[in-house]
Structure 1
Amino acid sequence: MPEVTVRYWAAAKAAAGVAEEPFDAATLADALAAVRARHPGELTRVLRRCSFLIDGDPVGTRGHETVPLADGGTVEVLPPFAGG
């Protein structure tokens, strides 16, 4: 199974209590399930509002179970940002 780095930004970083951490996950859905299991409180609520980048590419509206992850890849967790 690929090992990926999940990198948290803004409110997601505050809720996780860390800037990034490794997970074993084959898809974005697998990675997010692992994140929720490790951080069942506030981060789980924050994730509902987040968008995601996989190795710099936006996930958009694709189903998370259809987004494959590569070994050594990065999942960026981006909460909505205020301002303009």
Structure 2
Amino acid sequence: MAKGTIRYWAAAKAAAGLAEEPYDAGTLAEALAAASAGRDGEFARVVARSSFLVNGDPVGTREPAAVELPEGGTVEVLPPFAGG
């Protein structure tokens, strides 16, 4: 298990009710599952549509269970942005 920070942006921040929180997880999937615990369905809907960066690197289409999290890392949760 690694410890780090999850940062939420825009709609993810609103759904989470905070800008950031710690993670204690081995993979992105584990961190997102822990973050979802106790939150309403809106949080899960926003996260399902979001893209992710781990230490500034895009996760892209990789499965969250395959994305290992580093000790002291930062996960950015980026919901779709409106505009053009």
- Taking structure 1 as the reference length, the TM-score comes to 0.94
State, as a whole percentage, how many aligned pairs show the same letter: 68
- Taking structure 2 as the reference length, the TM-score comes to 0.94
In the TM superposition, residue 42 of structure 1 has moved relative to its aligned partner by 1.6
The runs of 5 or more residues in structure 1 that have no matched partner are: none
Q: How does 1:1-84 map to 2 (within 5 A)?
A: 1-84=1-84
In the alignment, the residues of structure 2 paired with residue 82 and residue 40 of structure 1 have an alpha-carbon distance, to the nearest angstrom, of 23
In the alignment, the residues of structure 1 paired with residue 8 and residue 82 of structure 2 have an alpha-carbon distance, to the nearest angstrom, of 16
In the TM superposition, residue 40 of structure 1 has moved relative to its aligned partner by 3.4
In the alignment, the residues of structure 2 paired with residue 39 and residue 25 of structure 1 have an alpha-carbon distance, to the nearest angstrom, of 18
In the TM superposition, residue 41 of structure 1 has moved relative to its aligned partner by 3.2
* Ranges of 4+ aligned residues in structure 1 off by more than 4 Å: none
Aligned-residue CA RMSD (Å): 1.0
In the alignment, the residues of structure 2 paired with residue 27 and residue 47 of structure 1 have an alpha-carbon distance, to the nearest angstrom, of 15
Equivalent pairs counted in the alignment come to: 84
